[in-house]
Chain A
């Protein structure tokens, strides 16, 4: 068994970078801090690749399964005798895979940002936050127990908050960051409650013992039941709530579009490739528990995922802000991954969905990061987010154009590009285990192809907008990541994923089922075709369609008014209908009561002042009469 204890460095290096740059960043030249950050991540990335190599090729499997290796573990906080929070590093197929994803994309983003963020004030701050995020994300990925995961879960939340609010003088950015934090926080409440129940019933946080197929956790699964579902199911549904929040699943997705207020590299890193898939990763982590002791929970995952993907895809067709289109497509793709997990079963071939979902996570990270970075390059050139201000850019931005096209083809599921394989296997899994979802996903695949190519054509072809300063191709620091990721998104599909990742750790062989693949290809091509017809050239036909749909179109365009609902809940309900009354009640009732005590005392003392009239005779009268009255009273009281 090889020693993996060095892996603890992978998260720690970014942490040190964060502290260093964060404390001293304002003293050094911006570019220096940028380079420090990049180098830190480069080392982390190299370490992760090395780890992957070590784990998959130099670690012997025990009876053919990949072992979960506890590379490093230290007790951090003791709750009870049984419940204690550890901090550590857990090495297993998916964590290694996530290591690759996170470090790769993060490294690319670091490099990219050197060009993209040039001249921004607070450059150092940006890199500090990037490193903080990388640290938190790596910590989350390597978590040995669900509570450690929660800890880093919160940390990625806050780093995303900080990065979205990077332009803190822009009110929209501030409110967007606030929204993101609060919505995810609300989801995390569910997560926490889930952890509470789960840990109380299983008496452990630890993933290894939780997911141990014949361990206490899973066997006690069918514990007491509540509203018809077992406690285990409830806890897992709550946990999934947290995942849904981070992964922007319906209805907790509202923060994701606004999160695009952050700098584009941030969107690429956090809101496309890594943080938003944390939810998927969480479910995957607990997959055995879901699959064996809470299949209903898994069903919830499937339906939520499927619906979100449809919902998002529909909205994406109508948006004009290119980053928002990408945001919704992200949401939709994550929906796919959730579906993959949802329709999967535990073990062997039945675990295809699990593998596929992880596979899709991997490929998606690559091409979606590519898309965002490309969009960044475009925005960098055009200084606008809206595709209305774009068109015909292919002349100006050749590299960006090519890479963007590759990404679009990939996501559209054009054969022999990476997403083709991964998406196809998700569809296969759905096909085998859940027909309705399969149909929905098939339709979504078409939509995806459509809106991606709508985007592509609107940007690079369509009308020839003339720009009052001609857009120019981005510097090498920005184009290199594009090229790298393009290559990655072309070829990452050829990794024999099922050899490495599987629900039970046992490698199995899987090849595509053309019965599923053919239709999906066709659907994709149809989508592209429609987009081509509508948007290749400037034409009013798209408008016509929009008008013909009327109110429905408007509803879609306004994202089905979910933001309005959010505003209503926060502003109206919480602010006006709860907090104000509470504050009023506190001031006037509770405090008023306390004051009224004092007031009454004063009033009484004013009332009785006549008692002290200054008349000796009255004094004498009171004296004698009270003496006599007391006498009588006590004689009667004690008369024998």
Chain B
């Protein structure tokens, strides 16, 4: 059994383990153990990957395994990772691990909750390791569906509506996506030979331009919907607002990254000509969503809505950078995915913890919480600073890389949109400071807040894990950024052929 498949097997085993547990306590422990193993495995994977690269292994994908599944359709179960997938896997394992502890106190149907949560994470892991479009899409949908139950059963507010809306919009996206993938598949052998779903194989052939023109928008929008592309982002605020803590963490932290990852691994990598031709449309859309999301966040009153909109803005930046189609920008895109994943997970974890104490998420009903719960307060400030791009935290690195990458384009259009995107850092500062000020500072509005206790051990664990990751990337980004950058080389080589 290859190491990568373990990332799918461990969740399955954990789920089976949970099924046989008696009570909530055991369930929690089992899931914690399982995801802890996952985290360790991820750490080992990073180490193994780096050392393999050190050893001079120049293969495009490492740790590859390939099992024929449906021979006559040439469908394989093919896995393999490059630096990007490794980074995303590490991110996922961290967020899931933190998520388990953040949802330590789920009382209602805990078994089912953790089962769905871990199934979801399994889907995400599968998505990141798979090299075969079929398996990739399979894991993609596996990751999306449990969301419905998670939000619908354990959510709050208008949860049925939000859950249904989220599921249907994402499924509508995957409808586009499926057609796109099938289109790629059926055009994967223009000069005879067997059709294939294997990404690396397809990357070798060049798909006829007409087909690309048809399927690039489908694929990109399909992934873009999950990445909160501008007109299709509206599932995100409602979904995040209604979802329980851990689900918001996973969803904003990891699931939305499937969009960015896929958009760049499939849409750009496999359909580069069309991407180059049509990128301007989507660049406009994404630069809109960068600013638009930030402005939208300014007036929100519900903490989760604020973060949902800021996620729209930040994920917009991811897609924006992906579309810039040069090494630096794409490097930045991946960094931004990771950094946003971590910090937004941290945000949602903290919001969940605060909500669990104050029973409100309306910032105008809160204030002065820094006094009563300093730990959570400080953590929230750190998350906020990360999100407005303070040097020394991950957000800064990612955004700067994106901006400098995007600015490598000399033509006016790219320059202008870049400036637009850059200006978002001010707006971000505005709404982050507004939240922090209203939530943590100032006098305490509500007397019964006076005797709220600070974070418990598991909450601290989950928070600290994320903060450490954020700070680590922020302080020493070099190895991560180079690891990603090297893995981008094949794509860049492919692009340089097309783009003059």
**Of A92-100, A304-312, A577-585, which stretch is located at the interface?**
A577-585
| B298 in complex: contacting residue of A26, A168, A171, A579, CB < 8 Å | A579
**Identity of the chain B residue whose Cβ is nearest the Cβ of A83 in the assembled complex:** B404
* Contact assessment for B477 and A590 in the assembled complex, using a CB-CB cutoff below 8 Å: no
* Contact assessment for A80 and B328 in the assembled complex, using a CB-CB cutoff below 8 Å: yes
* Contact assessment for A151 and B391 in the assembled complex, using a CB-CB cutoff below 8 Å: yes
Q: What are 23 pairs between A and B in contact, CB < 8 Å?
A: A26-B374, A75-B478, A76-B478, A77-B477, A77-B481, A78-B482, A79-B401, A79-B405, A80-B328, A80-B404, A151-B392, A154-B390, A154-B396, A169-B443, A174-B441, A178-B434, A181-B429, A193-B422, A574-B295, A580-B299, A590-B231, A593-B231, A594-B235
Whether a CB of chain B sits under 8 angstroms from the CB of A289 is no
Whether a CB of chain B sits under 8 angstroms from the CB of A570 is yes
Q: How many Å from the CB of A33 to the closest CB on chain B? A: 16
Bound-state CA distance A83–B485 (Å) is 14
Whether a CB of chain A sits under 8 angstroms from the CB of B337 is no
Give the chain A neighbours of B437 by CB distance below 8 A: 174-175, 178
| B391 in complex: contacting residue of A83, A155, A193, A575, CB < 8 Å | A155
Whether a CB of chain A sits under 8 angstroms from the CB of B349 is no
Other than the given A158-B390, A169-B441, A594-B234, 11 more pairs (CB < 8 A) read A77-B397, A77-B401, A78-B485, A80-B408, A152-B391, A168-B442, A175-B437, A182-B433, A582-B296, A590-B233, A591-B234
Q: How many Å from the CB of B230 to the closest CB on chain A? A: 8
Whether a CB of chain A sits under 8 angstroms from the CB of B300 is yes
Give the chain A neighbours of B300 by CB distance below 8 A: 583
Whether a CB of chain A sits under 8 angstroms from the CB of B327 is yes
Enumerate B222-248 residues with CB–CB distance to A below 8 Å: 231-235, 237-238
* Contact assessment for B419 and A193 in the assembled complex, using a CB-CB cutoff below 8 Å: yes
* Contact assessment for A158 and B296 in the assembled complex, using a CB-CB cutoff below 8 Å: no
* Contact assessment for B407 and A200 in the assembled complex, using a CB-CB cutoff below 8 Å: yes
**Of A184-192, A417-425, A447-455, A482-490, which stretch is located at the interface?**
A184-192
* Contact assessment for B478 and A174 in the assembled complex, using a CB-CB cutoff below 8 Å: no
* Contact assessment for A579 and B295 in the assembled complex, using a CB-CB cutoff below 8 Å: yes
Which residues of B are at the interface with A, using a C-beta cutoff of 8 A? 165, 168-169, 231-235, 237-238, 292, 295-296, 298-300, 327-328, 368, 370-371, 374, 385, 388-392, 396-397, 400-401, 403-405, 407-408, 418-419, 422-423, 425-427, 429-430, 433-434, 437, 440-443, 477-478, 481-482, 485
* Contact assessment for A196 and B391 in the assembled complex, using a CB-CB cutoff below 8 Å: no
Give the chain B neighbours of A185 by CB distance below 8 A: 388, 425-426, 429
Bound-state CA distance A76–B476 (Å) is 7
| With known contacts A189-B422, A582-B296, A590-B231, A169–B368 Cβ distance under 8 A | yes
Bound-state CA distance A585–B201 (Å) is 44
Whether a CB of chain B sits under 8 angstroms from the CB of A165 is yes
Give the chain B neighbours of A593 by CB distance below 8 A: 231
* Contact assessment for B370 and A168 in the assembled complex, using a CB-CB cutoff below 8 Å: yes
Whether a CB of chain B sits under 8 angstroms from the CB of A106 is no
Give the chain A neighbours of B234 by CB distance below 8 A: 586, 590-591, 594
| A196 in complex: contacting residue of B168, B422, B433, B482, CB < 8 Å | B422
Q: How many Å from the CB of A220 to the closest CB on chain B? A: 15
* Contact assessment for A582 and B295 in the assembled complex, using a CB-CB cutoff below 8 Å: yes
Bound-state CA distance A80–B169 (Å) is 38
Whether a CB of chain B sits under 8 angstroms from the CB of A199 is yes
Bound-state CA distance A76–B328 (Å) is 15
* Contact assessment for B441 and A76 in the assembled complex, using a CB-CB cutoff below 8 Å: no
Bound-state CA distance A431–B348 (Å) is 60
Whether a CB of chain B sits under 8 angstroms from the CB of A598 is yes
Bound-state CA distance A595–B165 (Å) is 8
* Contact assessment for B481 and A182 in the assembled complex, using a CB-CB cutoff below 8 Å: no
**Identity of the chain A residue whose Cβ is nearest the Cβ of B429 in the assembled complex:** A185
Bound-state CA distance A181–B436 (Å) is 13
| With known contacts A77-B397, A193-B419, A193-B422, A181–B433 Cβ distance under 8 A | yes
| With known contacts A574-B298, A582-B295, A192–B422 Cβ distance under 8 A | yes
**Identity of the chain B residue whose Cβ is nearest the Cβ of A580 in the assembled complex:** B299
Give the chain A neighbours of B389 by CB distance below 8 A: 154
Bound-state CA distance A619–B397 (Å) is 67
Enumerate A593-620 residues with CB–CB distance to B below 8 Å: 593-595, 598
**Identity of the chain B residue whose Cβ is nearest the Cβ of A578 in the assembled complex:** B295
| With known contacts A165-B441, A178-B437, A594-B234, A79–B299 Cβ distance under 8 A | no
Q: How many Å from the CB of B368 to the closest CB on chain A? A: 6
Enumerate A154-210 residues with CB–CB distance to B below 8 Å: 154-155, 158, 165, 168-169, 171, 174-175, 178, 181-182, 185-186, 189, 192-193, 196, 199-200
Bound-state CA distance A199–B400 (Å) is 13
* Contact assessment for A196 and B407 in the assembled complex, using a CB-CB cutoff below 8 Å: yes
Give the chain A neighbours of B423 by CB distance below 8 A: 189
Bound-state CA distance A77–B399 (Å) is 12
Give the chain A neighbours of B296 by CB distance below 8 A: 579, 582-583, 586
